[in-house]
Structure 1
């Protein structure tokens, strides 16, 4: 359940309404949007002005219902560290710098970082094959390399098991070896949690340490102590769901993470740790500069030529913002996003427990605020159990068709994709990937009625 269907990788452009990006919410949306006002008086410096804009944007996000934690730093100096809402709804404990959050698939960035270091120092090779590490590897997977796993080019499936079940490594490995490949290794791109778990297992075999112990060794060497799995988990500081479950229960199943999670998702961290981690990594202090540069190489086109995947991170070059590194992640309960605007030495981290103002959206708002650009924040929602009438417009018909497709089977999903996706979106991924996204969306909605929607021009 770590597919990013509700985050930026799952946003869709649909025909019938030109240039429309559609977002759906399980609540009635109040009319209008909020934009943070500028400061009343010009600050003494542009740096102070930027801080004020960030603070104003956070205020607007909080007023619109954001719940979570935000951390922003520049050149190692913290510019913003604020929480909004209750990290534990049952006790009222607020989000704050000490709140442990589930960073989801951002875990892949840590795995890619470690692998880059081990490759750079010669402990591992990017060309290390599965059959060089494990016994009885099926012929179709024997030649899969570590590099292919780290760049989602191995053809391995997204998942081969449930994050929450209590099962051992041998079960995971058997399931991974038995699963059919999406394509011949090295000939395509398919986002795979399985590949990163196998990469973590390879690192364990080569170093003789558990994945978590190896990760913690590197992190603690630069003063980062609150990131890991069960060795650092603290239920009193963890984010909780409204029903009382903490991360260990909601994301791990109430036991140590199984191998459907290890190395690809489920790490807990704090906002200060996340900023310190990325700062030390980027500076070549956490791993060597050579390892940093290796891992941040834009190896694999994700589709369309806009973004490329390095070792556990996305690399993009933006015409106005410059070079960006980032990754996001989430499950049905939590989501998070880290981003570095390398040309500006700016690092952002957001974690939240909701989807309407999810981490991707919040990062976009805060980035726009920093650069003094306009942004929109959906207004706070009002809970309702009544369905809303969809307007008799192309947009309304689009939503109606979309929801009908979600309620249907794979054939219904395929029919909607073929009829409604724009040609440019169809080329971003193959049909199996589009169908996988739809299946995840259907699971995320869980059969609940949609009582509102927002449409944003793009």
Structure 2
């Protein structure tokens, strides 16, 4: 039974309901957890040999095009800390332990950690409603609870604005409160950046501190100094894009992060900070053991019973590796992943500025290497020497205009969307989501080398080299009318 099925009860009942939910969740998974832990304990690893295998795997990753930073600790002791490639292509500065990276949606793990402590010490309540904190909450969202926000069960959309815009909290709040819900709160799961930003706002109102100052104070007590937003960011240590932009410019828009990011994404950190943070959190030193256990409860089935969402982290019980906690995150330019194999005392962190060998993949390779399991790394594919020349046809003009829009600003992309998308495709998602997809594809296809073009009556297919992925990517435009070539659907893969 899912814990969230209890959340329609009255506020006075919710504390008991959460306790009951914990008990039921524990009972439902205890057998699998015990079996996984027992099997994990049987896996004896020669740490010296494992360290050698990690070095071999990292060398292979670097040779295949991985750029970024990797950190791995065992029982609190660092056993691997290596960088690959340039953190700043314009100066040649390499990735290293002091490189500040954008950890993207891993920010949610910090928000969940703070919320768990505040709930545990009584400053906040899991059943606190939006209407208890804000005066202008519409009726459909008034009873959304902090617990639902922290477990992606509020029914809120993924986003309601532009991460790079200069928007204040009132604008974000108005957009969030005006957005239609995807489902009745507490009845399903949908990953929502909006929900975590609202949770961060509730934290601010309850404590009287800004989200960043509260987080920085908590981390400083554990000696963690390089994690935060603008008060932590150091452009001399930040990862930069090839065009010279650092994290503050590429991820925040060149100004302090707005509320489309605060609490859900955009924090900067370093690999040593990430390992120290997770170690102190897991040990019950950064927050109380009670708060740790609350935040790491597998509350919400993410869809299928294989993984559950706690407060800002995913909880899994692997049949061979035992209990695993993790979260990842990605933006148009950066991606990262932390993972703890709790039954082995093993913590991994990876951050990259490309997606051919993204952080998820690198974590998988390093985990396999540690446990002496098979792994493979595919090298990047070099681009073609020249871009394919386009004929003068409706299909080719569509491709030309699309690639030009990728290389243009948001206004030009919006003009393309409004001119080229069918009304049904336009209505399928908010404009901001269409623009976000454009931004993501543009980050991948910066080279714009067209390798192939095929068209029939209903589709236009192209292959474009993607430097960030180290290979060509196929894009399929569904175009029911071969004369107008209006886009009714787009597949990227």
Give 1:383 shift: 2.7
Q: Unaligned regions of 5+ residues in structure 1, if any?
A: 1-44, 389-406, 415-431
Which structure 2 residues correspond to residues 102-117 of structure 1 after superposition, within 5 A? Answer: 102-117=102-117
Q: Which residue of 2 aligns with 1:363?
A: 363
**Conserved 8 A contact 1:410-1:439:** no
The CA distance in 1 between the partners of 2:47 and 2:422, in whole Å, is 51
Q: Which residue of 2 aligns with 1:313?
A: 313
The CA distance in 1 between the partners of 2:435 and 2:360, in whole Å, is 21
Q: Which residue of 1 aligns with 2:488?
A: none
CA RMSD of aligned residues (A): 2.5
Once the two structures are superposed, what CA deviation does each residue of 1:336-357 show, in whole Å capped at 9, x if it has no partner?
Answer: 0000000101000000000111
The CA distance in 1 between the partners of 2:263 and 2:92, in whole Å, is 32
Q: Which residue of 1 aligns with 2:337?
A: 337
Give 1:46 shift: 1.4
SS in 1 for 2:290: helix
Q: Which residue of 2 aligns with 1:265?
A: 265
SS in 1 for 2:91: coil
Give 1:365 shift: 0.4
Give 1:167 shift: 1.0
**Conserved 8 A contact 2:252-2:258:** yes
Q: Which has the larger radius of gyration?
A: 2
The CA distance in 2 between the partners of 1:273 and 1:196, in whole Å, is 22
The CA distance in 2 between the partners of 1:172 and 1:200, in whole Å, is 13
Give 1:140 shift: 0.2
Once the two structures are superposed, what CA deviation does each residue of 1:75-97 show, in whole Å capped at 9, x if it has no partner?
Answer: 00000000000100000000000
The CA distance in 2 between the partners of 1:379 and 1:151, in whole Å, is 37
Change (3 A) 1:214 1:316: same
The CA distance in 2 between the partners of 1:369 and 1:438, in whole Å, is 39
The CA distance in 2 between the partners of 1:387 and 1:338, in whole Å, is 38
The CA distance in 1 between the partners of 2:69 and 2:423, in whole Å, is 40
Q: Which residue of 1 aligns with 2:144?
A: 144
Residue 450 in structure 1 maps to residue 464 in structure 2: yes
* Structure of greater relative contact order (alpha carbons < 8 Å, 6+ residues apart): 1
Give 1:441 shift: 5.3
Which structure 2 residues correspond to residues 2-21 of structure 1 after superposition, within 5 A? Answer: none
The CA distance in 2 between the partners of 1:154 and 1:98, in whole Å, is 37
Change (3 A) 1:411 1:386: farther
SS in 2 for 1:381: coil
Give 1:412 shift: 9.6
Q: Unaligned regions of 5+ residues in structure 2, if any?
A: 1-44, 389-416, 449-462, 466-470, 475-493
Which structure 2 residues correspond to residues 359-398 of structure 1 after superposition, within 5 A? Answer: 359-384=359-384
The CA distance in 2 between the partners of 1:314 and 1:50, in whole Å, is 26
Residue 286 in structure 1 maps to residue 286 in structure 2: yes
Which structure 2 residues correspond to residues 193-272 of structure 1 after superposition, within 5 A? Answer: 193-272=193-272
Once the two structures are superposed, what CA deviation does each residue of 1:176-211 show, in whole Å capped at 9, x if it has no partner?
Answer: 110100100001101000000000000000000000
Once the two structures are superposed, what CA deviation does each residue of 1:347-393 show, in whole Å capped at 9, x if it has no partner?
Answer: 000000001110000000000000000011111331335579xxxxx
**Conserved 8 A contact 2:72-2:349:** yes
Q: Which residue of 2 aligns with 1:130?
A: 130
Q: Which residue of 2 aligns with 1:349?
A: 349
Give 1:64 shift: 0.6
TM-score by length of 1: 0.78
The CA distance in 2 between the partners of 1:344 and 1:107, in whole Å, is 24
Give 1:413 shift: 8.4
Once the two structures are superposed, what CA deviation does each residue of 1:242-270 show, in whole Å capped at 9, x if it has no partner?
Answer: 00000000000000000000000000000
Change (3 A) 1:382 1:225: same
The CA distance in 2 between the partners of 1:259 and 1:352, in whole Å, is 24
Q: Which residue of 2 aligns with 1:60?
A: 60
SS in 2 for 1:79: strand
**Conserved 8 A contact 2:87-2:94:** yes
The CA distance in 2 between the partners of 1:205 and 1:174, in whole Å, is 17
**Conserved 8 A contact 2:332-2:439:** no
SS in 1 for 2:116: helix
**Conserved 8 A contact 2:157-2:181:** yes
Change (3 A) 1:168 1:360: same
The CA distance in 1 between the partners of 2:140 and 2:384, in whole Å, is 52
TM-score by length of 2: 0.73
The CA distance in 2 between the partners of 1:372 and 1:409, in whole Å, is 49
Change (3 A) 1:413 1:171: closer
Give 1:52 shift: 0.4
Give 1:444 shift: 2.2
Give 1:410 shift: 8.2
The CA distance in 1 between the partners of 2:422 and 2:293, in whole Å, is 41
SS in 2 for 1:361: helix
SS in 1 for 2:464: coil
Q: How many pairs align?
A: 377
